[in-house]
Amino acid sequence: MIYFDNSATTKPYKEVLDSFMKVSNDYFANPSSLHRFGGQAEKLLTQAREQVARLLNTKPGEIFFTSGGTESNNLAIKGAAFQNRNRGRHIITTKIEHPSVRDAAAQLERDGFEITYLPVDQSGRVSLSAVEQAIRKDTILVSIMHVNNEVGSIQPIKEIGELLKNYPTILFHVDAVQGIGKVPLSITESRIDLCSLSAHKFHGLKGTGVLYIREGVKLTPLFSGGNQERTLRSGTENVAGFVSLAKALRLTMMKSDSGLKAMKQINNLLRTELSKIEGITINTPADDSAPHILNFSLTGIKSETFIHALEQRDVFVSTTSACSSKKKAPSHTLIAMGVAEDLAERAIRLSLSFENTEQEAKKVIKAISDTVNQLGKVMKK
Amino acid sequence: MNYDRILIRYGEISTKGRNRNKFVDKLRKSVRIALSSFPNIKIEASRDRMYVLLNGENGIEIVNKLKNIFGIQSFSPAIKIEKDVEILKQASLELVNSLYQPGQTFKVTAKRSDKTFELNTDETNHAVGGYLLQNIPDLKVDVRNPDINLRVEIRKEAIYLSCETIQGAGGLPVGSSGKALLMLSGGIDSPVAAYQAMRRGVEVEAVHFFSPPFTSERAKEKVIDLCKKLAEISGGSMKLHIVHFTDIQQAIREQVPENYTMTSTRRMMLKITDKIRAKQEGLAIITGENLGQVASQTLESMFAINEVTNTPILRPLISMDKTDIIKIASAIDTLEISNRPYEDCCTIFVPASPKTKPKREKVNQYESYFDFEPLIKEAVEEVETLHIKPDWNSNSEFDELF
């Protein structure tokens, strides 16, 4: 099996599963319980928080554990909106965000907020001047993703952060779910107030995530209850999940140090070889794109058919994002980039992890080439 | 152009007359400990300046460490050059060029402690300023509010160039004012009191009263975590003396009328702390007391409690407002730890209506019916002393899980 769908989810590392099992089995107490057993669980939680903070170069008090990227994004956006609604009701985001940002914004729109959805250029990037022009007196939040999940384009987060230094009252949220470990991002140096992460994108477990909240930033919580996570996220903490998240993040950062170069080479190989195949158009921009994502469109072949054909050759890839792949709609991102609708409907995304090899890439190239030949003939008839 | 050293200006040390060498030595020690992770640096200290020679180490990280060291008034990344006018002009140009962005303004501030140098202060300003204006297009002078302030210090041994002055933490070097024992409960105030004392050069050791099962392991861990922060601030390690206090607390409850238990408890704590102080050869006791904050902190209470010792009691927070205390606690990163909601030695056994105006005669009379001395002696003998360092890790049992 060749798994090239790592932007949908990654395989948990064995060490991560081991930690999860051991903590679930040996330290299952509620960290809020007063007894020593509860104290141990609390210590594990604290150590997980400290490790994540160290790896992200933040303070432990700025790390909040959540159930994943979707919750982190919702908490960041709605929490910031509700907290600041008396100061202003204008939010800036982009046309290429993940649905958990886009639809959270859309929900706020129905609640009386105004949303500006910034366009992107042909390479899937938002421009700094567009952000600046969109800023109004009543803007309270800018939410822009780091790496686009569909095509892998990298947004100019550092530059936008630099720009927002002139607007100290505007909060800056970055959905960094796709970029973590693959594209370097300094949270503290990019003037980021809120930053979302999801463990299952870096070989952790589903149902665990992080929201970084800069010290001093206040949000309105989404959940009412036992006031865990310093009142921001009620619900008994998933201690085993968060310990395993901390481990997954450490291992990912470690592999990232040595693995990025090879990943880039594999991506280049895929790009070069696939662009030689007739009927394939590469959508991922050559520059300023993440090393693990390559998106292309097929002429004349439906992407769903193509996925199933590849799966018969034991190769697993995605149409666009896993979240929207079941809806038969063209890719939002590709449409925003100005890709024609028929191509935007026929997009395929390959996404790599540090575990993938050049060997596998060569096999995938051959499988894709053979499939295009085979299906192309059938479709043309 | 890269800075090759950091010039450190002493604060009040410079005014300390004959003791100056001692102060400089203490500061040099603080700097050496704080920068111990940079093996290539060299520290040169003279009577009124200290230099950290970078030798290729990361200047930005070193700057961040220096900001927290007590006894430093201000410091500047600097370049050392030969005492030659042409070299001075050339190096000034390189340095300003490396920082200059179009449209910025500058000024030159020369200081000449070596009066034998061929140019005087004004002439130096003119020579360097003129040269910069000739060679950097669009550069403008603004003597009031310049973007770049080039400082030229002409000293006996060399000229030092710098463009930035970073405020230090002020105060006096740790240990230069002797040792004192801190009564550390776990609340917000006592770590702030420790910080204020450290700022004035006091070497602090902490005493904590532990009363299992009335207070939990978590309360003790909280105190250890606070000591980790304080150890970091004092630039090294910190001793924590843990006193097992359960028996004494129970004896007080049995012997003393309820509204006087609090007064009596504080007196016992102070007696024990004073005995530990004597053993450790400290010269004072520090508390986080704040006038009028709670029943034990009225003047009447202090008068009744303080009776048990004539050791100086330092109360750095005595006249501060709570909001200002909280601000400092937040700045030194102890607030969040202090806010952990565990019972500590101050919150258990609080009577429903403690005396806010206890009388010395009364408390002496109540205590006279029972001999507390053996219990106090035992508590002092069985003190558990921990040497806490910033990286003290009580979590190591879990490390394989991470």
pLDDT per residue over A243-274, tens digit each? 999 999 999 999 998 899 999 999 999 999 99
Residues B244 and B292 in one domain: yes
Which strand (E) or helix (H) includes residue A293?
Answer: strand A293-298
Q: A250 at the B interface (CB within 8 A)?
A: yes
Res A295 pLDDT > 80? yes
Contacts of B149 (CB under 8 A, 6+ apart): B106, B107, B109, B163, B165
With 0-12 / 13-18 / 19 or more C-beta atoms within 10 angstroms meaning exposed / middle / buried, residue A277 is middle
Chain-chain contact of A42 with B398 (C-beta, under 8 angstroms): no
Classify domain A2-8+258-380 at the CATH topology level.
Answer: Aspartate Aminotransferase, domain 1 (3.90.1150)
The whole-angstrom separation of Cα A67 and Cα B165 is 46
Average pLDDT, stretch A1-24? 97
pTM: 0.77
* Residue-averaged pLDDT of chain B: 89
A195 is catalytic: no
Read off the CATH number of the domain in which B14 is found: 3.30.2130.30
Res B371 pLDDT > 80? yes
Q: How many residues does chain A have?
A: 381
Minimal-distance CA residue of chain A relative to B334 = A61
Q: Which of B243, B258, B252, B161 is nearest to B209 (CA)?
A: B243
Q: A48 at the B interface (CB within 8 A)?
A: yes
* Cα of A246 to nearest chain B Cα, Å: 7
The residue with greater pLDDT, B19 or A65, is A65
Domain stop point among B170, B205, B234: B170
Phi and psi torsions of A330, nearest 5°: -65, 155
Q: Which of A203, A181, A325, A353 is nearest to A267 (CA)?
A: A353
Q: Give me the number of domains chain B comprises.
A: 2
For residues B81, B85, B88 and B94, what is the CA-based torsion angle, rounded to 10 degrees?
-140
Residues B190 and B84 in one domain: no
Res B400 pLDDT > 60? yes
Strands A90-94 and B72-81: unpaired
Residues B59 and B159 in one domain: yes
Question: Is the CB of residue B199 less than 8 Å from the CB of residue B171?
Answer: yes
Average pLDDT, stretch A159-170? 95
The whole-angstrom separation of Cα A222 and Cα A233 is 7
Query: Which residue of B217, B398, B402 is in closest CB contact with A36?
Result: B217
Where does A18-166 show beta strands of DSSP type E? Answer: 63-66, 90-94, 114-118, 139-145
The whole-angstrom separation of Cα B366 and Cα B253 is 11
Instruction: Please report residues of B whose CB lies closer than 8 A to that of A23.
Output: 401
Q: How many interface pairs between A and B have CB atoms less than 8 angstroms apart?
A: 33
ipTM value greater than 0.85: no
What is the per-residue pLDDT for B395?
Answer: 57
The neighbouring-strand residues paired with A173 are A143, A194
Q: B369 at the A interface (CB within 8 A)?
A: no
What is the per-residue pLDDT for B34?
Answer: 86
Measured at the CA of B81, the angle between CA B78 and CA B86, to 5 degrees, comes to 125
DSSP calls for A204-242: S-TT-EEEEE-TT-----S--SS-TTTTTS-S---HHHH
A381 — pLDDT class (breaks 50, 70, 90): very low
Average pLDDT, stretch B353-381? 92
Per DSSP, the three-state class of A3 is strand
What is the per-residue pLDDT for B393?
Answer: 67
Q: Residue B118 belongs to what domain range? A: 5-170
Among A26, A47, A228, A244, the strongest candidate for a mutation testing the B interface, having the largest count of B CBs within 10 A, is A47
Question: Is the CB of residue A321 less than 8 Å from the CB of residue A149?
Answer: yes
**What are the tens digits of pLDDT across the range B66-91?**
988 999 999 999 999 999 999 999 99
**What are the tens digits of pLDDT across the range B260-297?**
999 999 999 999 999 999 999 999 999 999 998 887 78
Res B22 pLDDT > 70? yes
Percent of chain A residues topping a pLDDT of 90: 88
**What are the tens digits of pLDDT across the range B152-172?**
999 988 999 998 889 998 999
Instruction: Please report residues of B whose CB lies closer than 8 A to that of A39.
Output: 216-218, 221
The neighbouring-strand residues paired with B286 are B182, B314
Residues B111 and B46 in one domain: yes
The whole-angstrom separation of Cα A350 and Cα A320 is 9
Strands A280-282 and A293-298: antiparallel
Res B347 pLDDT > 70? no
B213 — pLDDT class (breaks 50, 70, 90): confident
Strands B105-112 and A315-316: unpaired
What is the per-residue pLDDT for B234?
Answer: 86
Instruction: Please report residues of B whose CB lies closer than 8 A to that of A47.
Output: 395, 398, 402
Res B346 pLDDT > 80? no
A contact residues 57-86, partner B, Cβ 8 Å cutoff: 59, 61
What is the per-residue pLDDT for A34?
Answer: 87
The whole-angstrom separation of Cα B102 and Cα B138 is 7
Minimal-distance CA residue of chain A relative to B335 = A61
Question: Is the CB of residue A171 less than 8 Å from the CB of residue A142?
Answer: yes
Domain stop point among B143, B170, B197: B170
Q: A39 at the B interface (CB within 8 A)?
A: yes
Residues B40 and B22 in one domain: yes
Q: B401 at the A interface (CB within 8 A)?
A: yes
Which residue is it, tokens 């776990």? B186
Among A13, A24, A43, the strongest candidate for a mutation testing the B interface, having the largest count of B CBs within 10 A, is A43
Percent of chain B residues topping a pLDDT of 90: 59
Chain-chain contact of B401 with A44 (C-beta, under 8 angstroms): yes
* Residue-averaged pLDDT of chain A: 94
**CB atoms near residue A218 (< 10 Å):** 11
Q: How many residues does chain B have?
A: 402
Residues B192 and B341 in one domain: yes
Residues B163 and B257 in one domain: no
Question: Is the CB of residue B364 less than 8 Å from the CB of residue B214?
Answer: no
Residues B189 and B154 in one domain: no
Res A325 pLDDT > 70? no
Packing angle between helix B189-199 and helix B217-233, nearest 10 degrees? Answer: 20
Domain stop point among B147, B170, B193: B170
DSSP class of residue A154 equals B
Phi and psi torsions of B160, nearest 5°: -115, 130
**CB atoms near residue A110 (< 10 Å):** 7
A129 — pLDDT class (breaks 50, 70, 90): very high
Contacts of A197 (CB under 8 A, 6+ apart): A69, A72, A176, A177, A180, A209, A210, A211, A212
Instruction: Please report residues of A whose CB lies closer than 8 A to that of B336.
Output: 61
Architecture of domain A14-251: 3-Layer(aba) Sandwich (3.40)
Read off the CATH number of the domain in which B320 is found: 3.40.50.620
Res A379 pLDDT > 80? no
* Catalytically annotated residue among A222, A282, A323, A365: A323
* Cα of A15 to nearest chain B Cα, Å: 8
Average pLDDT, stretch B139-156? 91
Q: B336 at the A interface (CB within 8 A)?
A: yes
**What are the tens digits of pLDDT across the range A106-118?**
999 999 999 999 9
What is the per-residue pLDDT for B15?
Answer: 63
Which residue is it, tokens 């190239």? A365
Chain-chain contact of B218 with A247 (C-beta, under 8 angstroms): no
**What are the tens digits of pLDDT across the range B37-54?**
888 999 999 888 899 999
**What are the tens digits of pLDDT across the range A58-68?**
999 999 999 99
B contact residues 204-233, partner A, Cβ 8 Å cutoff: 216-218, 221
Buried b (16+ CB within 10 A) or exposed e, B161-180: bbbbbeebbebbbbbbbebb
Letter for the amino acid at B280? Q
Res B375 pLDDT > 50? yes
Q: B391 at the A interface (CB within 8 A)?
A: no
Residue spans per domain, chain A: 2-8+258-380, 14-251
Minimal-distance CA residue of chain A relative to B401 = A19
Per DSSP, the three-state class of A256 is helix
Residues B129 and B73 in one domain: yes
What is the per-residue pLDDT for A352?
Answer: 97
Res B247 pLDDT > 90? yes
Question: Is the CB of residue A177 less than 8 Å from the CB of residue A206?
Answer: no
What is the per-residue pLDDT for B356?
Answer: 84
Average pLDDT, stretch B171-183? 91
Residues B161 and B236 in one domain: no
Chain-chain contact of B395 with A43 (C-beta, under 8 angstroms): yes
